[in-house]
């Protein structure tokens, strides 16, 4: 069986002439909604009406630019629109209402020539006349990084379909490829820290004017692992060029990136202005100064059609998302849409309060207070499961309490007799670490009540300790101003891996680890790094500062037995950011249990602060205590922030719903559109849970099952490793889900789709396209996961169906509907093991 392609008659469907100046940019949203930008400073939105053709939306035109519009781009899920202008601004609009969401000003105020969304909807790239590229965070709506690596004006940029790579081109004919994660991770002010991984100096003579990535991405091999992307460019040399970008990845890092020219396509008789792929990457459209637009077949470079109709040069072109329409915009001030059947492909294969508020409705348990310590209590902490509570005291003991009845769940842990200042549970709930005045930290096995290890080395009392989220490492910090990192292992190696000697002047009072491995970069690093762990540490000290540290550990080379420490290449740390604002000693710092975007801190200045980890800004200052504030904590769902002080008062603060929703949205978007090849163990476990195979999670975690394994190993080998060969029902379900997963990852469809056969329930109410990841929201309706995330990204926390406020922004996978959709799209799994 093979794919066949036919081109019908190219006919003019409609000519739109509302603009009063040249049409500079054009793009389609879902439902064939058309967006156009012009030198007349206006952006127009056109909606298709049966029997009438294209008519302007009731809110069109969008007016906000002072000078001509140079670029318009619709977001991947069609809820937002970005427009760029000569006035140096890029405006973000709500495509459903026409309201302006945000204004982004180019650094230096230079002309913006191009704007592009990342496929995961989290980033917007803008660039212009001075060669500067700006990367904007659409969740927080701030500038992530800006850099200048081109000498000429940058007229085109584009992201790879997995958001891993960014291509920039300029009027000097230079094309550069950057890793998106490298841009985000670099120092904000250090332009030299951003390096192009590949560069073509003569991509087009006289300059590159447009570029576009195909949505198709090939993944081959196992080790080395190879990804191949398709890129198309056009320039002032009359040519359209097709490129392949090959990324070869080893187990530890990206080793090779290569850009190869595949084909030169020549038909235009003058300079080109725009080039783009259609939605499935099978066709390319180009427009030029010769007043024509040309449609090419990607695989062969064959000219499939030439469109005419404009009186002056064609400035832009775009395919509709269903591939049935091609729109062109011209210097003659008109937009022409080409008729249906242009291309057919048949394939056999409540926004809450602005400030935190105090909540008073809490009731003490009947068995409270708990009495067992002889002297004052320094620290209390619940176990991860919530069934036990640990407390430590100046009397040198740690008591574990049963939270159901208030009784002692286990015998007391007795230290050397010195006061214990802090006790912390490991995230896996199997261990407790205690530390205090004797300058030592003791690690205990909770189940056996045994001492596992004693970590020493500090020269002063230890005030703070913290486990990493995977329970593999422990940090200890003391009055001397130092912190030490220890590895937790079975061989009782108690030597420090890292010693940070000058963490805080006058002493460290608090520390905590980020609860996830996705931090700062929003989890967007796409390199497959299987042998390295990264952790984010927050510390607070007597210098009134809160500091963030990034710790990177090579799991292969870390010496875990019979040696003190590790080589310089095994463990690295660096200070990422310092937060200033407190006017006294910082006594405690805490991350929320499941979020990595905010951080809480309290200090002797009688205040508590909530910080944005990503930007370093202080979001809230809480000032209700009348004495030194000594402790803080977040509730499990991040909705509450609790502070305690020497005024004997505990205050419970409600976090604004908008901040909670933003954090949920950030977590949801971390894995949005992530390719299976880039899945780490956590991603695989999440997939198993979403498809209803949570019984396999423990085994998959034990064998460290990654996305690369899912793609490269045979079905039989995978079922063998998961130990489910004898469970025929589970094995068959797993194989079917794996088959669908691979086909979705390759953008494959087993059968041709007739629109009349598509069940209405398969369509997303937002995009009106077939859902791939249907999720049910709190309004009871089901949406495409990426679409509802982007809906929230617009700042709308209302139901898309009822427009009523949602009680929360969480959602759950609709597995039954998803299975029905995949059966419709991909059919049944072949019985043989491929």
Ordered by start, the domain boundaries in the chain are 17-338, 347-502, 509-518+531-551+570-660, 673-749, 753-833
State how far the Cα of 80 lies from the Cα of 301, in Å rounded to an integer: 33
In which band, very low, low, confident or very high, does the pLDDT at 520 lie, cut at 50, 70 and 90? Answer: very low
Q: Comparing C-alpha atoms, which of 341, 296, 301, 346 is closest to residue 317?
A: 296
Q: Is 402 exposed, middle or buried (0-12, 13-18, 19+ CB in 10 A)?
A: middle
Mean pLDDT of all residues in 258-262: 94
Smallest CA-to-CA distance from 826 within 738, 725, 767, 727 is with 738
Going by pLDDT thresholds of 50, 70 and 90, the confidence category of residue 647 is: confident
Predicted confidence at residue 349, as pLDDT, reads: 24
Residues paired with 534 in a beta bridge = 552
Phi, psi of 506 (to 5 degrees): 75, 0
Average pLDDT on 233-245 reads: 95
Q: Which residues of 460-490 are buried (b: 16+ CB within 10 A; e: fewer)?
A: ebbbbbbbbbebbbbbbbbbbbbbbbbbbee
The domain defined by 509-518+531-551+570-660 folds into: Methylamine Dehydrogenase; Chain H (2.130.10)
Q: What local confidence, expressed as pLDDT, does residue 638 receive?
A: 79
Distance between CA atoms of residues 170 and 156, nearest Å = 7
Q: Which residues are registered as beta bridge partners of 275?
A: 286
Cβ–Cβ < 8 Å for 534, 552:
yes
Measured CA to CA in angstroms, residue 116 lies from 112, 119, 124, 214, 397 at distances of 11, 9, 6, 14, 59
Q: For residue 344, how many other CB atoms are within 10 A of its CB?
A: 14
**Intrachain domains 17-338 and 347-502 with the same fold:** yes
CA–CA separation, 717 and 725 (whole Å): 10
Contacts of 6 (CB under 8 A, 6+ apart): 344, 346
Q: pTM higher than 0.85 for the full model? A: no
Q: Is 347-502 a domain of CATH 1.10.10.10?
A: no
pLDDT of residue 533: 76
Task: Write the CA distances from 632 to 83, 373, 387, integer angstroms.
Answer: 43, 22, 20
More confident residue, 757 or 624: 624
Q: Which of 243-257, 289-303, 627-641 has the highest mean pLDDT?
A: 289-303
Domain 673-749 has CATH 1.10.150.50: yes
Query: Binning pLDDT at 50, 70 and 90, where does residue 452 land?
Result: confident
For the chain, what percent of residues have pLDDT higher than 70?
Answer: 84
Q: How large a percentage of the chain has pLDDT more than 90?
A: 32
**What pLDDT, on a 0 to 100 scale, did the predictor assign at position 358?**
46
Find, among 423, 493, 414, the residue nearest to 451 by Cα. 414
Architecture, CATH, for domain 17-338: 7 Propeller (2.130)
pLDDT tier at 525, thresholds 50, 70, 90: very low
* Nearest alpha-carbon partner for 680 in 517, 519, 538: 517
The CATH classification number of 753-833 equals: 3.30.40.10
Helices H, strands E: what count in the chain?
Answer: 9, 58
Query: Which has more confidence, 360 or 812?
Result: 812
Q: Which band of pLDDT confidence, cut at 50, 70 and 90, is reported for residue 343?
A: very low
Res. 4: pLDDT tops 80: no
**Average pLDDT over all residues of the chain:** 82
Where helices occur in 670-706 by DSSP H, the ranges are: 681-690, 697-702
Distance (Å) of CA 123 to CA 65, 110, 306: 21, 20, 35
Of 38-52, 164-178, 693-707, the range with the highest mean pLDDT is 164-178
Contact 351, 659 (CB under 8 A): no
- Of 594, 598, 602, 592, which is closest to residue 632 (Cα–Cα)? 602
Q: Provide the β-strand partners of residue 158.
A: 167
Count Cβ atoms below 10 Å from residue 501 Cβ, excluding itself: 9
């Amino acid at each position: 069986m093979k794919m066949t392609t036919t081109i019908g008659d190219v006919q003019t469907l409609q000519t739109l002439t509302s603009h009063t100046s040249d049409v500079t940019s054009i793009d389609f949203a879902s439902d064939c909604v058309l967006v156009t930008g012009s030198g007349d400073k206006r952006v127009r939105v056109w909606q298709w009406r049966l029997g009438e053709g294209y008519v302007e939306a009731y809110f069109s035109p969008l007016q906000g630019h002072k000078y001509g519009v140079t670029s318009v781009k619709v977001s991947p899920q069609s809820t937002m629109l970005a427009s760029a202008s000569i006035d140096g601004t890029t405006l973000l609009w709500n495509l459903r209402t026409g309201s302006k969401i945000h204004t982004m000003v180019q650094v230096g105020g230079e002309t913006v020539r191009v704007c592009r969304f990342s496929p995961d909807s989290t980033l917007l790239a803008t660039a212009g006349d001075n060669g500067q590229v700006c990367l904007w965070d659409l969740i927080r709506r701030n500038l992530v990084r800006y850099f200048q690596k081109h000498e000429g004006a940058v007229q085109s940029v584009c992201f790879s379909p997995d958001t891993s790579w960014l291509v920039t081109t300029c009027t000097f004919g230079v094309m550069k490829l950057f890793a998106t994660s490298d841009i985000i991770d670099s120092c904000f002010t250090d332009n030299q820290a951003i390096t192009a991984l590949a560069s073509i100096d003569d991509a087009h003579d006289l300059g590159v004017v447009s570029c576009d990535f195909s949505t198709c991405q090939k993944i081959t091999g196992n080790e080395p692992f190879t990804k191949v992307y398709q890129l198309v460019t056009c320039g002032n040399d009359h040519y359209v060029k097709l490129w392949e970008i090959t990324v070869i990845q080893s187990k530890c890092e990206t080793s090779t990136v290569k850009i190869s020219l595949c084909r030169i396509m020549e038909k235009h008789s003058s300079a080109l202005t725009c080039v783009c792929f259609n939605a499935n990457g099978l066709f390319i459209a180009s427009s030029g100064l010769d007043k024509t637009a040309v449609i090419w077949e990607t695989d062969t470079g064959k000219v499939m059609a030439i469109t005419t109709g404009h009186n002056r040069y064609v400035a832009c072109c775009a395919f509709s998302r269903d591939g049935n329409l091609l729109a062109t915009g011209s210097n003659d001030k008109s937009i022409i849409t080409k008729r249906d059947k242009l291309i057919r492909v048949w394939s056999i294969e409540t926004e809450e309060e602005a400030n935190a508020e105090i909540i008073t409705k809490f009731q003490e348990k009947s068995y409270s207070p708990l009495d067992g310590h002889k002297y004052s209590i320094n620290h209390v902490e619940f176990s991860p499961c919530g069934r036990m509570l640990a407390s430590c005291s100046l009397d040198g003991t740690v008591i574990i309490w049963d939270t159901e009845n208030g009784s002692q769940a286990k015998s007391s842990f007795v230290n050397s007799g010195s006061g214990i200042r802090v006790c912390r549970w490991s995230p896996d709930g199997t261990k407790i670490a205690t530390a205090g005045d004797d300058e030592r930290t003791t690690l205990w096995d909770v189940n056996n009540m045994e001492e596992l290890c004693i970590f020493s080395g500090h020269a002063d009392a230890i005030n703070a300790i913290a486990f990493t989220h995977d329970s593999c490492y422990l940090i200890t910090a003391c009055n001397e101003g130092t912190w030490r990192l220890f590895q937790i292992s079975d061989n009782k190696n108690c030597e420090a891996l890292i010693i940070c000697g000058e963490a805080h002047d006058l002493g460290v009072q608090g520390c905590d680890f980020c609860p996830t491995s996705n931090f700062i970069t929003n989890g967007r690093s796409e390199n497959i790094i299987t042998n390295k762990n990264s952790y984010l540490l927050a510390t607070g000290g007597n210098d009134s500062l809160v500091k963030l540290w990034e710790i990177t550990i090579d799991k292969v080379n870390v010496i875990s037995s019979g040696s003190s420490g590790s080589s310089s290449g095994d463990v690295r740390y660096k200070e990422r950011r310092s937060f200033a604002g407190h006017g006294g000693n910082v006594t405690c710092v805490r991350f929320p249990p499941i979020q990595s975007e905010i951080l809480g801190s309290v200090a002797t200045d009688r205040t508590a602060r909530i910080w944005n980890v990503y930007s370093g800004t202080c979001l809230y200052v809480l000032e209700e205590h009348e004495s030194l504030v000594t402790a803080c904590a977040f509730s499990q769902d991040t909705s509450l922030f609790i502070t305690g002080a020497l005024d004997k008062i505990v205050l419970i603060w409600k976090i604004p719903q908008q901040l909670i929703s933003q954090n949920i949205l950030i977590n949801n978007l971390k894995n949005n559109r992530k390719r299976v090849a880039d899945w780490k163990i956590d991603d695989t476990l999440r997939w198993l849970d979403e498809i209803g195979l949570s019984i396999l999670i423990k085994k998959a975690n034990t064998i460290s099952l990654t996305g690369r394994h899912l793609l490269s190993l045979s079905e039989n080998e995978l079922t063998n490793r998961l130990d489910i060969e004898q469970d025929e029902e589970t094995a068959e379900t797993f194989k079917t889900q794996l088959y669908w997963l691979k086909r979705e990852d390759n953008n494959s469809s087993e059968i041709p789709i007739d629109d009349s056969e598509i069940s209405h329930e398969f369509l997303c109410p937002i995009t009106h396209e077939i859902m791939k990841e249907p999720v049910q929201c709190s309004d009871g309706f089901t949406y495409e996961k990426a679409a509802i995330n982007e809906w929230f990204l617009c700042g709308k926390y209302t139901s898309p169906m009822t427009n009523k406020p949602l009680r929360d922004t969480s959602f759950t996978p609709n597995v039954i509907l998803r299975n029905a959709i995949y059966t419709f799209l991909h059919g049944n799994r072949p019985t043989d093991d491929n």
